[in-house]
């Protein structure tokens, strides 16, 4: 990937929800670029459109208007199965409430994206073992999520997000359901991943965690009201 081409490029992205004949503008023309290797935090108060933006970035939702290029490819016209394939190969998700599947073991949860990718079992085993090792959960591979603490569950969720070696990790309030100690541990883990080269885009409303990122984008009423990267650029100029 060329340095000139951003990994994520949003141009005038809007999202309008229609409920009971009332239009709600969740996103009101977002312009955004995220480059490979960046660690970006999207911050803002509740209801400002952070999660909607993350859903659009993660191809879980489509914009009402505007353009979105992921890895130089326009994604608005992708079919459902192409979107699913893109999510599987290019995006890793980390949720606030972990979203591990209760009936599957830790190993099986982490293995799931690779299963959907159609990877051979032997290769999956190796990759899952590496991912679990990376987050320090290899010893719990056979446990069910209900047998783990919240912090452990989130570490497993991180392993699941990185096991497919995606282009970008999208984290939605990854510390929201954790106490401060476990929250810090997860943030350390993300930092470590970033140091290893991962591109991370994290939504958070907590300025302490936003501070872990290299760049923070502030949203308010569906608009970017402050982008620290732009400020820095302007300052450089």
**Site residues (vs another protein, CB under 8 A):** 51, 55, 58, 60-61, 80-81, 84-85, 87-89, 93, 95-97, 99, 101-103, 112-113, 116-117, 160, 164, 172
| Residue whose CB is less far from another protein, 36 or 62 | 62
Which residue in the block uniquely carries the two structure tokens 């159609």? 118
Phi-psi region for residue 219, left (φ > 0), alpha (ψ -120 to 50) or beta?
beta
| Residue whose CB is less far from another protein, 74 or 84 | 84
Q: How far is the CB of 162 from another protein (least distance, A)?
A: 12
| Residue whose CB is less far from another protein, 95 or 214 | 95
What is the separation of C-alpha 110 from the centre of its chain, rounded to a whole number of angstroms? 16
Q: How far is the CB of 42 from another protein (least distance, A)?
A: 15
Which residue in the block uniquely carries the two structure tokens 């994290």? 202
Q: How far is the CB of 85 from another protein (least distance, A)?
A: 7
Planar angle of CA 217, 222, 224, nearest 5 degrees: 30
| Residue whose CB is less far from another protein, 81 or 236 | 81
Residues making up the chain, counted from first to last: 237
| Residue whose CB is less far from another protein, 24 or 97 | 97
Q: What is the largest CA-CA distance in the chain?
A: 55
Q: How far is the CB of 92 from another protein (least distance, A)?
A: 9
Dihedral of alpha carbons 206, 95, 111, 142, sign: positive
Q: How far is the CB of 225 from another protein (least distance, A)?
A: 22
Calpha distance 181→141 (Å, rounded): 23
């Amino acid at each position: 990937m060329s340095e000139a081409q951003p990994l994520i490029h949003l141009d005038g992205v809007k999202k309008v929800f229609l409920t009971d004949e009332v239009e709600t503008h969740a996103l009101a023309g977002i312009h955004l670029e995220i480059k490979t290797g960046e660690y970006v935090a999207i911050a803002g108060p509740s209801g400002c459109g952070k999660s909607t933006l993350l859903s659009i970035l993660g191809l879980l939702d489509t914009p009402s208007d505007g353009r979105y290029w992921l890895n130089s490819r326009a994604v608005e016209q992708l079919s459902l199965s192409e979107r699913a394939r893109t999510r599987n190969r290019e995006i890793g998700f980390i949720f606030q409430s972990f979203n591990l599947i209760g009936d599957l073991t830790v190993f099986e949860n982490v293995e799931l994206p690779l299963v959907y990718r159609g990877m051979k079992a032997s290769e999956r085993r190796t990759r899952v073992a590496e991912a679990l090792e990376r987050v320090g959960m290899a010893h719990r591979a056979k446990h069910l999520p209900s047998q783990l603490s919240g912090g452990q569950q989130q570490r497993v969720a991180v392993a699941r997000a990185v096991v497919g070696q995606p282009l970008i990790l999208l984290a939605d309030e990854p510390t929201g359901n954790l106490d401060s100690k476990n929250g810090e541990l997860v943030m350390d883990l993300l930092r470590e991943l970033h140091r290893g080269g991962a591109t991370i885009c994290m939504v958070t409303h907590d300025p302490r965690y936003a501070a872990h990122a290299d760049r923070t984008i502030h949203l308010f009423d569906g608009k970017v009201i402050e982008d620290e990267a732009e400020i820095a650029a302007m300052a450089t100029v």
